């Protein structure tokens, strides 16, 4: 009778760059005209930063759900009531896969690998249902491009599409392929913690929490069954696991028991909430002020160690987005280098290692556009730092045991603490 379709999950995908060019489109069902994107472009036009474009937009006939990654908007067009998180998660997974395949997720790289990209999208989504999103499985079906393989393929007429059945797809452990073999069996775990914090003017912690992640690199032969236990599992009350982790055992014994995927994967993420006391490794003394007259201001920042667990703070860096009226800076740093970007009005002070004996200091004057009113807003300081060999929450791995295989694997655990969204208000 009449042409009338029920839409599926994700109808179409558009990749759009910052200047608004659509450089890839993929339609899983009927073709959706590009005009639908006008609503997106309108929102993009309005937004001050590309990050500020709202992720869910409503148009008369469609919904546009987008994410912004690697200076690209991944935009999904949907027609029916679909969980938006589902779509957003999927889009991030697409971006992750590109990253994984091509080493980076950028417009150029995608353009250079369009056919692989297209094949990947086809494998990842069937009629709007996610099909294969595990990188292990995808790589069995579509091999990532390497220069060497390209040469071989050119010479032999080979292809980069596997004709193997993705074996993992069929087993109850879809994340691991069968028949893995290594000569050196090794399992490494990186415990990475990021401190998200807001400190107020006086240095008091307004809010602080820790986002932790355990990244694993497991290269073990066969079907190893691993058990990872912690010295102080009680710290972990808010956790998200890779699907391989047996939740029951965690609930009852507080150990991580799992058959790992092959290669690199995120074993778990955790979150130590603001209700626990979070150690703040540094303190910041700062004063940024503008004078009512004379079109200038002062800046004085000193950073010192606070709760560093006896380790050295490295990679210390301070970023200050200055008010738009600040024309130039005239500063001296006792340690490290600073730059002031005139276009973006961002002051970056790269300090490096924090020496507790000689605290780094940056001070001097700021010159403000003549005649401009005294800036109203107070710039916030963004801090980057890194502390090796310690997880600031105090989390420690106790031991790693392997069952199911005979050989002795090489094991290692590394800790590192970083600043996440670490802000100091002025």
Partner 1 sequence: MYCFTEVLYHGKNHLISCNSAEKIMFSQHNPLFSVDGSLSSRSQEFLCIFLCACTSIICCSSDCHCVTFFLNLHQHSFYYFFYCLQENRQFGSKMTDSKYFTTTKKGEIFELKAELNSDKKEKKKEAVKKVIASMTVGKDVSALFPDVVNCMQTDNLELKKLVYLYLMNYAKSQPDMAIMAVNTFVKDCEDPNPLIRALAVRTMGCIRVDKITEYLCEPLRKCLKDEDPYVRKTAAVCVAKLHDINAQLVEDQGFLDTLKDLISDSNPMVVANAVAALSEIAESHPNSNLMDLNPQTMNKLLTALNECTEWGQIFILDCLANYTPRDDRESQSICERVTPRLSHANSAVVLSAVKVLMKFMEMLPKDLDYYGTLLKKLAPPLVTLLSAEPELQYVALRNINLIVQRRPEILKHEMKVFYVKYNDPIYVKLEKLDIMIRLASQANIAQVLAELKEYATEVDVDFVRKAVRAIGRCAIKVEQSAERCVSTLLDLIQTKVNYVVQEAIVVIKDIFRKYPNKYESVIATLCENLDSLDEPEARAAMIWIVGEYAERIDNADELLESFLEGFHDESTQVQLQLLTAIVKLFLKKPTETQELVQQVLSLATQDSDNPDLRDRGYIYWRLLSTDPVAAKEVVLAEKPLISEETDLIEPTLLEELICHIGTLASVYHKPPSAFVEGNHGVQHKGLPGSAGSAESESPDAVSAGAATEAPAAVIPSQGDLLGDLLNLDLTPPATTGPLPHSGGMQMGAMDLLGGGLDSLLGGDLGGSPAMGAGFGAPPAAMPPAFSAPVSGSLYDLFDLDNGVGMPLGSFCPPKTVWLPAMKAKGLEISGTFVRHAGVIQMEMTITNKAMSVMTGFAIQFNRNSFGLAPAGPIQVPSPLSPNQNIEVSLPLNTVGPVMKMEPLNNLQVAFKNNIDVFYFSCQYPISVLFAEDGKMERQVFLATWKDIPNENESQFQIKDCHLNSDAASNKLQSINIFTIAERTVDGQDMLYQSMKLTNGIWALAELKVQAGNPNYTVSLKCRAPEVSQCVFQSYEAVLKN
Interaction residues for partner 1, span 86-145 (CB under 8 A): 86, 88-90, 92, 103, 108, 111-119, 122, 126-127, 129-130, 133-134, 145
How far apart are CB 139 and partner 1 at their closest, in Å? 15
Specify the stretch interacting with partner 1 by CB under 8 A; choose among 5-13, 214-222, 385-393, 399-407: 5-13
What distance in Å separates the CA atoms of residue 4 and residue 6, rounded to the nearest whole number? 7
Q: Is 343 in the site for partner 1 (CB under 8 A)?
A: no
Q: Is 274 in the site for partner 1 (CB under 8 A)?
A: yes
How far apart are CB 330 and partner 1 at their closest, in Å? 24
How far apart are CB 301 and partner 1 at their closest, in Å? 17
Q: Is 421 in the site for partner 1 (CB under 8 A)?
A: yes
Sequence-distant (≥ 6) Cβ neighbours of residue 120 within 8 angstroms: 94, 97, 98, 101, 138, 142
- DSSP line for 63-103: EEEEEEETTEEEEEEE-S---HHHHHHHHHHHHHHHHHHHS
Residue ranges in 205-224 that form contacts with partner 1 under rule CB under 8 A: 206-207, 209, 211
Query: Mask: binding to partner 1, 302-331, rule CB under 8 A, as x and -?
Result: -------------------x-x--------
Question: What is the distance between the terminal CA atoms of the chain, rounded to a whole angstrom?
Answer: 67
Q: Is 68 in the site for partner 1 (CB under 8 A)?
A: yes
Joined together, the tokens standing for residue 215 give: 């990244």
Q: Which of 37, 82, 216, 354 binds partner 1 (CB under 8 A)?
A: 82
In contact, 73 and 116? CB cutoff 8 Å:
no
Whichever of 26 and 311 has its CB closer to partner 1, that residue is 26
In contact, 351 and 303? CB cutoff 8 Å:
yes
Q: Is 42 in the site for partner 1 (CB under 8 A)?
A: no
How far apart are CB 108 and partner 1 at their closest, in Å? 8
Q: By C-alpha distance, which of 310, 270, 296, 285 is closest to 383?
A: 285
Q: Is 198 in the site for partner 1 (CB under 8 A)?
A: yes
Q: Is 84 in the site for partner 1 (CB under 8 A)?
A: yes
Phi (first) and psi of residue 45, to 5 degrees: -60, -40
Residue ranges in 348-407 that form contacts with partner 1 under rule CB under 8 A: 376-378, 380, 382
What distance in Å separates the CA atoms of residue 181 and residue 149, rounded to the nearest whole number? 21
Q: Is 294 in the site for partner 1 (CB under 8 A)?
A: no
How far apart are CB 389 and partner 1 at their closest, in Å? 24
| DSSP code, position 166 | -
Q: Is 291 in the site for partner 1 (CB under 8 A)?
A: no
Sequence-distant (≥ 6) Cβ neighbours of residue 180 within 8 angstroms: 220, 221, 222, 262
Q: Is 48 in the site for partner 1 (CB under 8 A)?
A: yes
What distance in Å separates the CA atoms of residue 136 and residue 242, rounded to the nearest whole number? 14
How far apart are CB 332 and partner 1 at their closest, in Å? 26
Q: Which of 99, 153, 312, 361 binds partner 1 (CB under 8 A)?
A: 153
What distance in Å separates the CA atoms of residue 262 and residue 220, rounded to the nearest whole number? 7
What distance in Å separates the CA atoms of residue 303 and residue 164, rounded to the nearest whole number? 57
Q: Which of 35, 45, 164, 406 binds partner 1 (CB under 8 A)?
A: 164
Sequence-distant (≥ 6) Cβ neighbours of residue 54 within 8 angstroms: 43
Specify the stretch interacting with partner 1 by CB under 8 A; choose among 176-184, 254-262, 273-281, 307-315: 273-281
């Amino acid at each position: 009778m009449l042409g009338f379709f029920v839409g599926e999950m994700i109808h179409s995908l558009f990749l759009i760059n910052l200047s608004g060019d659509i450089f890839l489109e993929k339609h899983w069902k009927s073709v959706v005209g590009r005009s639908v994107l006008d609503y997106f472009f309108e929102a993009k036009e309005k937004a001050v930063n590309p990050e500020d474009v709202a992720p869910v937009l409503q148009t008369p006939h469609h919904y546009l759900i987008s994410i912004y990654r690697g200076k690209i908007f991944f935009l999904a067009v949907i027609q029916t009531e679909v969980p938006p998180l589902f779509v957003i998660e999927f889009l991030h997974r697409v971006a992750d896969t590109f990253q994984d395949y091509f080493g980076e997720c950028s417009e150029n790289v995608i353009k250079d690998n369009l056919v692989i990209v297209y094949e990947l999208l086809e494998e990842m989504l069937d009629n709007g249902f996610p099909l294969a999103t595990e990188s292990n499985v995808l790589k069995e079906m579509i091999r990532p491009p390497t220069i060497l393989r390209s040469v071989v393929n050119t010479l032999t007429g080979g292809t980069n599409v596997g004709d193997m059945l993705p074996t993992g797809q069929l087993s109850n452990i879809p994340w691991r392929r069968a028949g893995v073999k290594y000569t050196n069996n090794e399992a490494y775990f990186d415990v990475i913690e990021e401190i998200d914090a807001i400190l107020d003017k006086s240095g008091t912690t307004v809010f602080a929490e820790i986002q932790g992640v355990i990244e694993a690199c497991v290269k073990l032969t066969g079907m190893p069954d691993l058990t990872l236990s912690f010295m102080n599992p009680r710290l972990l009350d808010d956790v998200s696991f890779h699907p391989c982790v047996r939740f029951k055992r965690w609930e009852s014994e507080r150990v991580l028991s799992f058959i790992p995927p092959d290669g690199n994967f995120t074993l778990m993420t955790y979150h130590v909430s603001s209700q626990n006391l979070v150690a703040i490794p540094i303190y910041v003394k700062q004063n940024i002020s503008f004078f009512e007259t004379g079109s200038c201001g002062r800046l004085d920042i000193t950073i010192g160690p606070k709760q560093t667990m006896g380790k050295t703070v490295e990679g210390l860096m301070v970023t200050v987005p200055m008010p738009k009226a600040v024309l130039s800076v005239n500063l001296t740093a006792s340690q490290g280098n600073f730059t002031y970007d005139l276009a973006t009005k961002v002051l970056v002070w790269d300090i490096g290692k924090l020496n507790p004996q000689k605290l780094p200091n940056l001070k001097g004057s700021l010159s403000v556009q003549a005649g401009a009113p005294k800036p109203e807003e107070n710039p916030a300081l963004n801090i980057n730092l890194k502390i090796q060999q310690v997880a600031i929450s105090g989390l420690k791995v106790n031991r790693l045991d392997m069952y199911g295989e005979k050989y002795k694997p090489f094991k290692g655990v590394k800790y590192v603490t970083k600043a996440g969204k670490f802000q100091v208000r002025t």
